[in-house]
Chain A
């Protein structure tokens, strides 16, 4: 592993690379350089060697950046990772810990940041059952966050993120409300689920009825079996399917003839890293029951039962493509 001193022309070529920096090279510099280059064939060979150093990988990175913006940033980040012997030793067992320190967005995938301040929150891949003071029961899906505000006149659950299933205990004096940014759902003695996405919310009634009201004051009464997306603009009926059912509360997803993309959406809160599905694979019709609590196994099983290829890059990235 010995390094040998580079020869004279190579050292000269390095000097030229430095001197020809666009910020400062003059016409005279460039003329002198041309003269040096022509003076001896081995000068040109040395120049090729120096200026072509790592040309291929650098241009591969720049091309990848053109196709998918962000690659250069990702590469820079990787290349600036210091190689400490201690870290090398640790990496084997502590990969998940290292991931946790990855940055705001990575943290957000593990634990939604606004959730950290909420009364009840769940991390990626975990659910939580909460029994409220009145005997009502809330089940929070993974990556969800909610606050509970009970007082003498009402029982209020504010859903910030994710999804919850609620089983309401009767209390004729205090209405039970689930509120999102997009509106409120008033229980009329019942079981229902509410999900908050970034631009709209969903209510799906599993038993009895609810009264729905959006921010703009529009109202609707929904019966058991009905599901509606709501936002400030209005209401839109939701297709009966994965999103309107609550089997996740029991740890599985039941899919009956739905695009694979829907299943993957529902699996996301259970996967720490990035789940990516190609548009073609997302269209594949899917049937079956999928376990939530061993997500890696569930992802593997997709490849056995569907015409897809599942490639995992460590715990951080899984790609699903049409086989």
Chain B
């Protein structure tokens, strides 16, 4: 007969958990995570610097970290512009790979026959190192951006496919029963049940595939060094034995990777309804 919820009876105090959900994160613990690796990195750089200087290591083998950083900032415009090209390739590939994988997963989630037909092929592609296909892609797609984007797309699609299938299927059967009991259409079930259920899985797979797309882009740029990109810079500069430039380009790739991974985490916090989704496949 009690119609008003009573906090003492309802074990959980909703007001409390609501405050917890909406509060902005405190930045102090974040510093505790950021500072130790930064200090470790700094110590490592100092050690290398001392080793190169005191050990009289040849400049053809290992540049001084300070020289790398100096070159990075002096020539920042170059690394930034080449970085943008690499970013364009990896993001183009990620977009195409993710879209294709999500669409295919939506089909597979609805059809066992499609699953049996598609999954073995998808796994075959997965276990094949796709960078081995770059020479073929160059023959088929020419020397422009297309083969690079194709490789980045191919390398990203698998984790998205597997996670999206798992996500589209991770629905409460009772919930599905409720949808059926009001004669909801297949599209309504997809739109209001399967797709939202898959969002945390899609973010989990994006965390993997965003760095994979960078790998695909860089390796493709090794082969197609004529059109630039950080991979091309690394390839050309190592031929010239200019290791400072090679390391500066790698440093730019690290910056790109950290930025992209952080962007995915931020987007997940903004758009996902659940943040503890375990990764299904890598």
A and B pair up: no
Binding site for B on A (CB under 8 A): none
